[in-house]
């Protein structure tokens, strides 16, 4: 099967989880005999045309810039549409697969121009990301999502809660939606880590406690609630350190909030980290916190589970489906610093519980959240769309 995958981000352009999703899925589709052409945006010092583990990557140069993100997105879709049409003259695609609203226009145009079925994966929705806040651009994005939901022959969502949200928000028949979770490559997270050396990079000793957060610095990720939980955790564990990995428009505000906690502030903001360094840090952590208030899936949670670090996560959306409370992780109430502090205390104070949860979580990753399984389910959806 010849597939045209369209995504605005693909490594090394990684803004959220879509880049790693498209890489993992496309790589596994190739392993199962598919021809995958992935159309994405250009990136400095990266080839425009490249073969990445069998994936034929085509990076599109965008000749039009604009200070408005929405208008820039609509502009780059024009160049993506031309690239898809050009590639089809030799590849003869059987199906178009676009990811999130940012490439919906390319998906719809290609569907009609090439007379081929369209599959769309929704990784989140505008209403969820903005937590109901509305502005003119958000209203337009919501409309693009609705347009894509109705034009696609099949919709894929990464969790059941996301499927319910899409059906309710856009009046889509439930029978049109298929739920396929994200995946990871378990072997990528298997490594022996020198905890003392890794912790030393951040000024920690081997025996101090390390509480980790990984994600974008935006309100939906709930970082502020974790920072508010720090004083309570520090009272119980004076040697605890808190490492915040990631970046985003809220970072400066969160750094100021961290300073306002008073006393000996032990909160470190690292910014973005290279993949290997991040995996090593997960292995060296005592607990990984995912305090999101909106999380359609929560790929960082399964990355932590694959590394064998106990995960404390908000009982919301896709996170509640990934983690079974007291079996593969701990649930906490969203927007509750007290609940976060209590769960972190439970992990740090009970090493037998921490080890049991970490073991169960990794078994869950091996059996369900791997790319081979995700690719097989996706191929089944492709078959439905083509028929």
Query: Measured between alpha carbons, how far is 38 from 78 in angstroms, rounded to an integer?
Result: 16
Mean pLDDT, rounded, of the chain: 93
Which position has the token pair 């390390």? 210
- Sheet harboring 55-60: ordered strands across? 49-52, 55-60, 35-41, 2-6, 95-99, 118-122, 154-157, 177-179
Q: What pLDDT, on the 0 to 100 scale, is given for residue 195?
A: 92
Q: What percent of the chain has pLDDT over 90?
A: 76
SS3 content of the chain, % helix, strand, coil (to 5): 50, 20, 30
Which position has the token pair 């589709």? 29
**DSSP codes, 260-324:** TT-SS--EEEEE---HHHHHHHHHH-SEEEE--S--SS-HHHHHHHHHT--EEEESSHHHHHHPP
279 pLDDT tier (thresholds 50, 70, 90): very high
Question: Closest by alpha carbon to 380, among 185, 116, 199, 180?
Answer: 180
Q: What pLDDT, on the 0 to 100 scale, is given for residue 31?
A: 96
- Assess contact for 161 and 318: CB atoms under 8 A: yes
Which position has the token pair 């007379």? 115
Q: Is a pLDDT exceeding 70 seen at residue 326?
A: yes
Query: Measured between alpha carbons, how far is 89 from 110 in angstroms, rounded to an integer?
Result: 13
Which position has the token pair 């490439």? 103
Q: Is a pLDDT exceeding 70 seen at residue 287?
A: yes
Residue 362: both structure tokens together: 């990794």
Query: Measured between alpha carbons, how far is 190 from 39 in angstroms, rounded to an integer?
Result: 31
- Alpha-carbon distances, residue 38 vs 54, 124, 223 (angstroms): 11, 21, 33
Average pLDDT over residues 81-89: 96
125 pLDDT tier (thresholds 50, 70, 90): confident
Phi, psi for 198 (deg, rounded to 5)? -65, -45
Q: What pLDDT, on the 0 to 100 scale, is given for residue 16?
A: 73
Q: Which domains does the chain have, with CATH numbers?
A: 2-183+370-386 (3.40.50.2000), 186-367 (3.40.50.2000)
Query: Measured between alpha carbons, how far is 311 from 305 in angstroms, rounded to an integer?
Result: 7
Q: Strand 49-52 and strand 267-271: pairing? A: unpaired
- Assess contact for 381 and 180: CB atoms under 8 A: yes
pLDDT in tens, 213-247: 999 999 989 999 999 999 999 999 999 999 999 99
Q: What pLDDT, on the 0 to 100 scale, is given for residue 367?
A: 79
Query: Measured between alpha carbons, how far is 46 from 32 in angstroms, rounded to an integer?
Result: 27
Q: Is a pLDDT exceeding 80 seen at residue 130?
A: no
Q: Is a pLDDT exceeding 80 seen at residue 172?
A: yes
pLDDT in tens, 31-84: 999 999 999 999 999 999 999 999 999 999 987 878 889 999 999 999 999 999
In 3-state terms, what secondary structure has residue 248?
Answer: coil
Tell me the H-state helices in 11-152.
18-31, 69-91, 104-114, 126-130, 136-151
Which residue pairs from 382-385 have beta carbons closer than 8 angstroms and sit at least 24 positions apart in sequence?
A: 382/1, 382/3, 382/95, 382/97, 382/119, 384/153, 384/154, 384/178, 385/95, 385/117, 385/118, 385/119, 385/153, 385/154
Average pLDDT over residues 251-273: 90
Q: Is a pLDDT exceeding 90 seen at residue 366?
A: no
Q: 131: how many CB neighbours lie within 10 A of its CB?
A: 10
pLDDT in tens, 90-106: 989 999 999 999 999 99
Q: What pLDDT, on the 0 to 100 scale, is given for residue 133?
A: 60
Q: Is a pLDDT exceeding 70 seen at residue 132?
A: no
In 3-state terms, what secondary structure has residue 47?
Answer: coil
């Amino acid at each position: 099967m010849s597939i045209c995958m369209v995504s605005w981000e693909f490594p090394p352009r990684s803004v959220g989880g879509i880049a790693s999703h498209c890489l993992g899925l496309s790589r596994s589709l190739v392993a199962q005999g598919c021809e995958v052409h992935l159309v994405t945006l250009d990136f400095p010092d990266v080839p425009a045309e490249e073969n990445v583990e069998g994936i034929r990557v085509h990076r599109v140069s965008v000749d039009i810039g604009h200070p408005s993100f929405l208008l820039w997105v609509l502009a780059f879709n024009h160049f993506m549409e031309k690239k898809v049409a050009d590639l089809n003259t030799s590849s003869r695609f059987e199906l178009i697969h676009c990811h999130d609203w940012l490439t919906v226009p390319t998906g719809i145009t290609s569907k009609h121009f090439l007379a081929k079925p369209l599959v769309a994966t929704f990784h989140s929705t505008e209403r969820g990301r903005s937590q109901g806040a509305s502005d003119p651009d958000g209203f337009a994005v919501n409309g693009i999502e609705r347009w894509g939901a109705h034009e696609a022959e099949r919709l894929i969502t990464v969790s059941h809660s996301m499927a319910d949200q899409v059906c309710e928000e856009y009046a889509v028949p439930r029978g049109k939606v298929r739920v396929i979770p994200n995946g990871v490559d378990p072997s990528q997270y298997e490594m022996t880590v020198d905890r003392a050396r890794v912790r030393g990079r951040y000024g920690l000793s081997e025996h101090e406690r390390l509480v980790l957060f990984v994600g974008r610095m935006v309100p939906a990720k709930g970082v502020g609630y974790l920072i508010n939980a720090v004083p309570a955790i520090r009272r119980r564990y004076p040697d605890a350190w808190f490492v915040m990995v990631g970046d985003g428009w809220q970072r400066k505000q969160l750094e100021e909030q961290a300073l306002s906690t008073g006393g000996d502030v032990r909160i470190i903001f690292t910014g973005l980290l290279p993949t290997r360094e991040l995996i090593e840090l997960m292995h060296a952590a005592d607990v990984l916190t995912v305090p999101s208030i909106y999380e359609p899936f929560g790929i960082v949670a399964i990355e932590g589970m694959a590394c064998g670090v106990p995960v404390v996560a908000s009982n919301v959306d896709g996170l509640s489906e990934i983690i079974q409370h007291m079996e593969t992780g701990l649930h906490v109430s969203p927007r509750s610093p007290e609940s976060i502090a209590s769960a972190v205390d439970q992990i740090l104070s009970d090493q037998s519980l921490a080890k049991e949860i970490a073991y169960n979580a990794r078994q869950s990753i091996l059996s369900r959240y791997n790319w081979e399984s995700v690719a097989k389910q996706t191929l089944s959806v492709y078959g439905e769309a083509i028929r």
